[in-house]
């Protein structure tokens, strides 16, 4: 059975004290996870060691970095390497979030390098893909996300692609006033799995978790997660509210 994952992306939010409190509020609720379920907290760099320490004794709870650089080390002021993340016990990293693509001009080739170096250091990439409102309106969203997968992931072996978690972000449904329906989420997730099946076969594609990242909330999580090809969520704003994120965790299959 594929892993069902509730991943919290805190983005650039919370002071250290607020981060400690938020993490404690979620963990103290003691949500018991099934063997196939995971909770991942993608926290800002300064909080990685603290958060990793807090989840160390929790079954199936993990911490992720929100980004890493393409190189192992060197004169890259302000960057953080996968080797550094590995050295502090981090086992997951978000790669290619829509905000990284838009604000920092990260392209598919760069993201392929980031995926490679994460895997080299035994870090699970949470690889993000998705389309803008303009692309959705043009009806070319399937082609767009297929190119993202092909240019950033298709070089991977059958073994390595199963070490990747994919997160679909319908950028057009985030902060635009438009809403992605459950049917639209399932349709795109099925398409992504079909792209993977074409390249690797169904035995491999059926083993890859694909998360939904389009304004997941406490009120819609269970319905979204009930879709056959939706394996959880990459959660933004709702993950900053402990009660909401706890509800989202409980909505996992």
**Active-site annotation, residues:** 97, 169
Quote the CA–CA distance of 115 and 225 in Å, as a whole number: 26
φ, ψ for residue 168 (rounded to 5)? -90, 125
Spatial contact of 136 and 170, defined as CB atoms under 8 Å apart: yes
3-class SS at 178? coil
What angle, rounded to 10 degrees, do the helices at 16-27 and 242-250 form? 40
Residue 179: Cβ within 10 Å count: 11
Locate 106 and state its tokens.
């990260």
Residue 171: Cβ within 10 Å count: 21
Alpha helices for the chain (secondary structure H): 16-27, 48-55, 82-87, 98-104, 108-120, 133-138, 141-153, 158-161, 182-200, 202-205, 221-225, 242-250
Spatial contact of 181 and 227, defined as CB atoms under 8 Å apart: no
Spatial contact of 192 and 129, defined as CB atoms under 8 Å apart: yes
Please state, in angstroms and as integers, the Cα–Cα distance from residue 52 to each residue in 99, 204, 245, following that order.
24, 30, 18
């Amino acid at each position: 059975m594929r892993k069902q994952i509730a991943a919290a992306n805190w983005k650039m939010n919370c002071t250290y004290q607020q981060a400690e409190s938020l993490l404690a509020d979620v963990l103290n609720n003691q949500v018991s996870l099934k063997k196939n379920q995971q909770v991942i907290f993608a926290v800002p760099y300064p909080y990685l060691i603290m958060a990793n320490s807090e989840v160390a004794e929790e079954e199936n709870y993990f911490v992720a970095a929100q980004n890493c650089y393409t190189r192992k080390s060197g004169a890259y002021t302000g960057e953080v390497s996968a080797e550094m993340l590995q050295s502090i016990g981090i086992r997951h990293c978000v790669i290619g979030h829509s905000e990284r693509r838009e604000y920092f001009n990260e392209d598919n080739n760069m993201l392929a390098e980031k995926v490679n170096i994460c895997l080299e250091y035994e870090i699970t990439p949470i690889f993000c893909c998705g389309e803008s409102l303009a692309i959705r309106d043009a009806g070319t969203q399937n082609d767009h996300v297929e190119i993202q997968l092909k240019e950033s992931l298709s070089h991977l072996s059958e073994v390595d692609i199963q070490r990747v978690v994919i997160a679909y972000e319908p950028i057009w449904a985030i902060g635009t006033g438009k809403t992605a329906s459950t049917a639209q989420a399932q349709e795109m997730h099925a398409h992504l799995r079909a792209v993977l099946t074409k390249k690797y076969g169904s035995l491999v594609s059926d083993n890859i978790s694909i998360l939904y990242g389009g304004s997941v909330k406490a009120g819609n999580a269970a319905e979204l997660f009930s879709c056959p090809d939706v394996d959880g969520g990459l959660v933004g704003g709702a993950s900053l509210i402990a009660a909401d994120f706890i509800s989202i965790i409980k909505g996992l299959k």
